[in-house]
């Protein structure tokens, strides 16, 4: 067993060294055939209230982790992309012409923007995303990471900057958000716009086995912490949206030519401490309900070889259950090792006499429909009665 390499940092917004640990948890991360232990501590800055993971994983750990465990830039449905675009169009002048997206994956958002007449560009680290964008939408993306090196060569080679730079569900993965936004400014026209979407840490969903404050995100933003960032950097806030059905904050900033203020506006230390404490309490009650639900279960096949199952194992929810096999829809995972199981194709559900435990929050209903359609005789165990899904909005479970 290996330990995840970490290092202590100062507050990523105000630079303060003063913080309080509010949530500690040990994660067991399977990487290849090894297990890594990551004892995470979520802290709150005493001087501005920023909630973040501290110590942070080192750069080496992060790249190892993203290569093996997690697909950094998620795929969102056309629905959420459409509402992002509507929000943007509503809040920028008609003269706006070019949009650049950081981490667009397959380019769904950019394709919608292109149809509205914008010229679109983007940089995407995954080859799969770049290929799909080309094939599906005929959009050419740069295959690269958005970092100092990329921006340096952009500034050297390109004459024109973009009217709008956007990134959705990226900033919560970034270790130095101020530096990242400074890079964004370098490719955005003065007077142009920066459009951000992040999960809202003011409303963490406690009723999901996958922990909101998990190892996937290393920064946890609220509207006020984003406002602090804007103020520190001297960016103007043009519009904020918090959609009712999904737990995110959207913010449009103007890349004004003002000097950076360097100071923060809010200190939400007490407020955010209460949010995290309430979350921990609610989560522990929720996990008790799940334990009760699983109390009678003896042997199962698990559907889902990802973070959700890792966390189920980590929380001890599967301790008294005999796991017959683990299956996953993703072809690329088949035959890989996962917690000492070899991941199988769902095809083994044919002639299966054990119930299937659906181990996913966002995709629970999708997986359930797939099983009902293809393996109608297989008994299903669903963990959630209600799912608030970023991809599809709120869904009630029918079982
Ligand atoms: Zn701070």
Query: Given this model, what pLDDT does residue 172 score?
Result: 94
Residue 238, judged by CB atoms within 10 A of its CB (0-12, 13-18, 19+), counts as middle
Which pLDDT belongs to residue 67?
65
At 398, the pLDDT band (50, 70, 90 cuts) reads very low
How far apart, in whole angstroms, are the C-alpha atoms of residue 245 and residue 278? 21
The Å distance, Cα 367 to ligand 1 centre, comes to 41
- Return d(Cα 96, Cα 136) in angstroms, integer: 25
Per-residue model confidence as pLDDT tens digits over 342-381? 999 999 999 888 999 999 998 999 999 999 999 999 999 9
Q: Which structure tokens are listed for 141?
A: 């993306």
Cα gap 108→76, rounded to integer Å: 8
* CA 101 to centroid of ligand 1, rounded, Å: 28
Distance, in Å, from the CA atom of 248 to the CA atom of 169, rounded to the nearest integer, reads 9
Output the CA 183–ligand 1 centroid distance in Å. Answer: 21
Structure tokens at 119: 């010229």
Average pLDDT, rounded, for the chain: 90
- Closest-CA residue to 98 (of 50, 166, 150): 166
Residues with CB under 5 A from ligand 1 (ion): 11, 13-14, 16, 45, 47-48, 50
Distance between Cα 66 and ligand 1 center (Å):
27
Q: Structure pTM? A: 0.90
pLDDT (tens digit per residue) in 179-206: 999 999 999 999 999 999 999 999 999 9
Using one digit for the tens of pLDDT, what is the confidence trace for 243-284? 887 889 999 999 988 877 778 999 999 999 999 999 999 999
Q: Is the pLDDT of residue 100 over 80?
A: yes
User: Can you tell me the distance from the alpha carbon of 101 to that of 196, in angstroms, rounded to the nearest whole number?
Assistant: 10
Kindly list the distances between the CA atom of residue 127 and the CA atoms of 10, 93, 143, 312, in Å, as whole numbers in the listed order: 34, 34, 7, 30
Given a cut of 60, is residue 137 above it in pLDDT?
yes
Contact present, 303 and 348 (Cβ < 8 Å): no
In angstroms, the Cα distances linking 332 to 141, 287, 307, 329, 335 are 23, 31, 16, 9, 8
**CB neighbourhood size of 300 (10 A):** 22
Question: Percent of the chain scored above 70 by pLDDT?
Answer: 93
Give me ligand 1 centre to Cα 268, in Å.
Answer: 9
Q: Which domains does the chain have, with CATH numbers?
A: 297-396 (3.40.50.720)
């Amino acid at each position: 067993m290996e330990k995840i390499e970490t290092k202590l940092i100062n507050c990523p917004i105000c630079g303060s060294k003063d913080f309080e640990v509010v949530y500690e948890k040990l994660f067991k991360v399977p990487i290849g055939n090894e297990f890594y232990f990551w004892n995470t501590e979520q802290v709150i800055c005493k001087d501005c209230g920023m909630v973040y993971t501290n110590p942070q994983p080192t750069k080496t750990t992060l790249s190892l982790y993203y290569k093996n465990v997690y697909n950094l830039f998620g795929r969102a449905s056309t629905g959420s992309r459409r509402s992002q675009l509507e929000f943007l169009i509503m809040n920028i002048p008609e003269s706006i012409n070019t949009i650049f997206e950081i981490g667009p994956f397959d380019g769904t958002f950019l394709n919608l923007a292109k149809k509205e007449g914008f010229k679109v560009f983007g940089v995407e680290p995954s080859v799969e995303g770049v290929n799909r964008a080309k094939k599906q939408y005929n959009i050419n993306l740069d295959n690269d990471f958005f970092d100092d090196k990329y921006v340096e060569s952009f500034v050297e080679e390109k004459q024109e900057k973009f009217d709008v730079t956007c990134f959705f569900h990226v900033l919560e993965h970034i270790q130095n958000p101020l530096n990242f936004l400074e890079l964004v400014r370098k490719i955005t026209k003065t007077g142009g716009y920066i459009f951000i979407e992040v999960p809202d840490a003011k409303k963490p969903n406690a009723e999901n086995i996958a922990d909101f404050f998990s190892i996937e995100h290393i920064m946890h933003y609220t509207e006020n912490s984003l406002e602090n960032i804007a103020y520190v950097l001297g960016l103007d806030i043009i519009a904020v949206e918090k959609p009712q059905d999904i737990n995110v904050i959207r913010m449009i900033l103007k890349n004004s030519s003002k000097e950076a203020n360097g100071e923060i506006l809010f200190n939400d230390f007490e407020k955010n401490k209460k949010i995290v404490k309430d979350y921990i309490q609610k989560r522990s009650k929720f996990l008790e309900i799940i334990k009760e639900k699983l109390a009678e279960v003896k042997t199962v096949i698990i559907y889902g070889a990802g973070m959700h199952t890792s966390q189920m194992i980590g929380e001890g929810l599967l301790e008294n259950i005999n796991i017959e096999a683990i299956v996953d829809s993703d072809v690329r995972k088949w035959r890989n090792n996962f917690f000492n199981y070899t991941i199988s194709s769902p095809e083994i559900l044919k002639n299966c006499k054990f119930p299937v435990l659906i181990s996913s929050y966002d995709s629970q209903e999708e997986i359930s429909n797939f099983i009902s359609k293809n393996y109608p005789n297989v008994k299903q165990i669903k963990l959630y009665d209600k799912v608030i899904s970023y991809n599809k909005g709120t869904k009630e479970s029918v079982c």
